[in-house]
C-alpha cells in the first residue's frame, strides 16, 4: 500500500509550533516513503470552525513548504459517519446513555470518595426497554457510548516501542453528544479507513486514545494503522507550551521575519538524537529523517535557539535564493550588496535597513572631539576606482597622518559613514557607498 499520513487540525484557531512539528514529521515521513500527505480539517464543530482559520492554516503550511497532496473537510463527510454509527448501533457496540452531565459528575465524585477508579458503570447498557421508554418520555435525549471489549490492546509504537493499554481501565467513550454532534473519535477512525491511512503520527497525549481507536477500527471491520506517538514540546523552563501564546503561532513567526526553513529545521530536529543544524532545503532534511531518532523525552523549545538558527540560515542563503525577496522589500542592491551584508543579518528583512544606509541620503554620527579627525580623514580619501582594498589603503593613510589606531581610528569612521557602531565589514561597504556619498557624509 502507498504510505499515507495525515495532519488533522481543528480550524478553530491558527496552528502553533507544537502543531507544526506534527505536520512537519508527517510530511517528512510521507516524502521519505514516496507517499501521500493529507490535510484533513476536523471541522465537525460547526460553531467554532471557520473558513478564515482553515485558510490561515493552509497558508501556514504552504509557507512552511508542507503543501498537502489532498485536502478533506470532515464537515462535508457526515453521511459516512452516520453510516458507521448506524452499523455500530446495529452490532450492539454503540449504546444510548441518558445521564446528565451533573449526574455523571456526581457518580465520578462518589467513586473517587470510595477510592474507586472513575469509570463509567455502563448504566445505559443495562437499561430495560421500559426504562429507556420512561427516560425518553421524561424528555431525556441520549448520548451514545462505544462499548469497549475491556481487553489488552497492544501495538509496536514507532516512537514509544511496545505499548499495552487495558481498555477495562477506561470508560466507554462518548462518540455522539446529546445534540447529535460527533466527537472527534468516530469521524477520525472512519476517515482513516476511507482514506487508506497507513500510519498515524501525532503527539503522545493521544496514546490512550489509540487503544480506543483500535477497537473502533476493528468494530468497523478494518485493521488499525501503525502508530507513532511523539513527545510534546516544553519551553526552555521545562513547562508545557501554551497554544494561547500568540508569539508561538506560525503566522506570528512568519510576520516576525523568521525563515520557513528555520522553523522546519527546528521542528524536525528538536527532541531527536540529531544536532539542531540549519537546513536551507527540504531534501537535506529528508536525508537525515528517521522516526527512530525521536526521543521519548520532551522536546525543549527555545525561541532564542530558533532565532539563532534563523540567523545561521540567512548567512547560508545565496543571492539567487533571495533576489526576489530583496526586490519585494526594496533592498536588491545586487550580489555584491548581499555578500557584504548577509553575514550580519539575523533576519532577511534587516537587509532593507542596510540598503538604506548604503545607498540612501543619510547623515552619520560625529562626536565633537572627532570633528577635526573626520575632516582630516576626508582629505585623504583615495581617488576612484574603489574596490575591497580601498578601506585598508585609506585607513593606513589616516593612521599615519593622525596617529590614531585601533578603536579610536575605526569607530569614528564607522559612525560617520553608517551611523552604526557595528555591522558589516567596511572594506566591503565602502565601494558600495561610493566616493561621493562617503565624502558627503564625512
Query: DSSP letters along 364-411, please?
Result: ----GGGHHHHHHHHHTPPPSP--TTHHHHHHHHHHHHH---HHHHHH
More confidently predicted of 402 and 235: 402
Q: pLDDT class for 245, splitting at 50, 70, 90? A: low
- Torsion angles phi and psi, residue 200, rounded to 5: -120, 115
CA–CA gap between residue 409 and residue 401 (Å, rounded): 11
Does the pLDDT of residue 205 top 70, yes or no? yes
Alpha-carbon distance of 424 to 351, in angstroms, equals 11
Cα 200 to Cα 8, 29, 232, distances in angstroms: 10, 11, 16
Exposure of 137 by Cβ count < 10 A (0-12 exposed, 13-18 middle, 19+ buried)? Answer: exposed
Residue ranges and CATH numbers for the domains of the chain are 1-73+231-316 (3.40.50.620), 80-176 (3.90.800.10), 319-359 (no CATH), 368-441 (1.10.10.350)
Q: Using alpha carbons only, how large is the chain's radius of gyration in Å?
A: 31
Which pLDDT does position 364 carry in this prediction? 87
pLDDT above 90: residue 362: no
283-338 pLDDT tens trace: 999 998 999 999 999 999 999 999 999 999 999 999 999 999 999 999 999 999 99
Please state, for a pLDDT cut of 90, what percent of the chain lies above it.
93
Check the CA dihedral 178-182-184-185 and report its sign.
positive
| Residue range 7-27: mean pLDDT, rounded | 95
Q: Distance (Å, rounded) from C-alpha 323 to C-alpha 59?
A: 22
According to the model, what pLDDT value does residue 18 have?
92
DSSP H or E stretch at residue 68? none
Calculate ∠ Cα 199-201-202, nearest 5°: 150
pLDDT of residue 242: 62
Residue 312, helix vs strand vs coil:
helix
How many angstroms separate the Cα of 163 from the Cα of each of 5, 195, 208, 228? Answer: 21, 25, 10, 11
Give per-residue pLDDT as tens, 154-185: 999 999 999 999 999 999 999 999 999 999 99
pLDDT band at 238 (very low <50, low <70, confident <90, very high): confident
CA 216 to the chain's CA centroid: 30
192-227 burial, b if ≥16 CB within 10 A, otherwise e?
bbebebbbbbbebeebbbbbbbbbbbebbeeebbeb
- d(CA 134, CA 127) in angstroms, rounded, equals 11
Beta strand pairing status for 174-176 and 143-146? Answer: antiparallel
For residue 364 the three cell numbers come to 552619520
pLDDT digits (tens, 9 = 90+) for 97-133: 999 999 999 999 999 999 999 999 999 999 999 999 9
Amino acid at each position: 500500500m502507498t504510505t499515507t499520513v495525515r495532519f488533522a487540525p481543528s480550524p478553530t484557531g491558527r496552528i502553533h509550533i507544537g502543531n507544526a512539528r506534527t505536520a512537519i514529521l508527517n510530511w517528512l515521513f510521507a516524502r521519505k516513503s514516496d507517499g501521500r500527505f493529507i490535510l484533513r480539517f476536523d471541522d465537525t464543530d460547526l460553531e467554532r470552525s471557520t473558513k478564515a482559520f482553515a485558510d490561515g492554516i493552509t497558508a501556514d503550511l504552504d509557507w512552511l513548504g508542507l503543501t498537502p497532496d489532498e485536502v478533506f473537510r470532515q464537515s462535508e463527510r457526515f453521511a459516512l459517519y452516520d453510516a458507521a454509527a448506524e452499523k455500530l448501533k446495529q452490532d450492539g457496540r454503540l449504546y444510548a446513555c441518558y445521564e446528565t452531565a451533573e449526574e455523571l459528575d456526581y457518580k465520578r465524585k462518589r467513586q473517587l470518595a470510595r477510592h474507586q477508579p472513575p469509570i463509567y458503570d455502563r448504566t445505559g447498557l443495562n437499561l430495560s426497554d421500559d426504562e429507556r421508554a420512561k427516560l425518553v418520555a421524561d424528555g431525556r435525549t441520549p448520548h451514545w457510548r462505544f462499548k469497549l471489549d475491556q481487553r489488552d490492546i497492544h501495538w509496536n509504537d514507532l516512537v514509544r516501542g511496545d505499548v499495552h493499554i487495558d481498555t477495562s481501565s477506561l470508560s466507554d467513550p462518548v462518540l455522539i453528544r446529546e445534540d447529535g454532534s460527533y466527537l472527534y473519535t468516530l469521524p477520525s477512525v472512519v476517515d482513516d479507513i476511507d482514506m487508506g491511512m497507513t500510519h498515524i503520527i501525532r503527539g503522545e497525549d493521544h496514546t490512550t486514545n489509540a487503544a480506543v481507536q483500535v477497537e473502533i477500527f476493528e468494530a468497523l471491520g478494518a485493521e488499525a494503522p501503525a502508530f507513532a506517538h511523539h513527545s510534546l514540546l516544553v519551553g526552555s523552563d521545562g513547562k508545557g507550551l501554551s497554544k494561547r501564546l500568540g508569539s508561538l503561532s506560525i503566522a506570528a513567526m512568519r510576520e516576525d521575519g523568521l525563515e520557513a526553513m528555520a522553523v522546519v529545521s527546528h521542528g524536525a530536529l528538536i527532541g531527536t538524537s540529531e544536532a539542531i543544524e540549519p537546513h536551507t532545503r527540504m531534501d537535506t532534511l529528508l536525508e537525515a529523517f528517521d522516526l527512530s531518532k525521536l526521543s521519548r523525552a520532551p522536546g525543549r523549545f527555545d525561541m532564542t535557539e530558533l532565532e539563532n538558527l534563523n540567523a545561521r540560515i540567512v548567512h547560508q542563503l545565496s543571492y539567487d535564493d533571495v533576489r526576489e525577496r530583496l526586490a519585494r522589500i526594496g533592498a536588491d542592491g545586487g550580489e555584491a550588496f548581499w555578500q557584504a551584508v548577509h553575514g550580519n543579518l539575523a533576519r532577511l528583512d534587516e537587509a532593507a535597513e542596510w540598503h538604506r544606509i548604503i545607498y540612501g541620503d543619510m547623515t552619520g554620527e560625529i562626536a565633537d572631539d572627532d570633528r577635526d579627525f573626520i575632516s582630516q580623514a576626508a582629505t585623504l580619501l583615495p581617488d576612484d576606482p574603489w574596490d575591497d582594498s580601498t578601506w585598508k589603503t585609506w585607513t593606513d593613510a589616516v593612521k599615519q597622518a593622525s596617529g590614531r589606531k585601533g578603536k579610536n581610528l575605526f569607530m569614528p569612521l564607522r559612525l560617520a559613514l553608517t551611523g552604526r557602531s557595528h555591522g558589516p565589514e567596511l572594506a566591503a561597504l565602502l565601494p558600495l557607498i561610493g566616493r561621493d556619498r562617503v565624502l558627503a557624509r564625512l
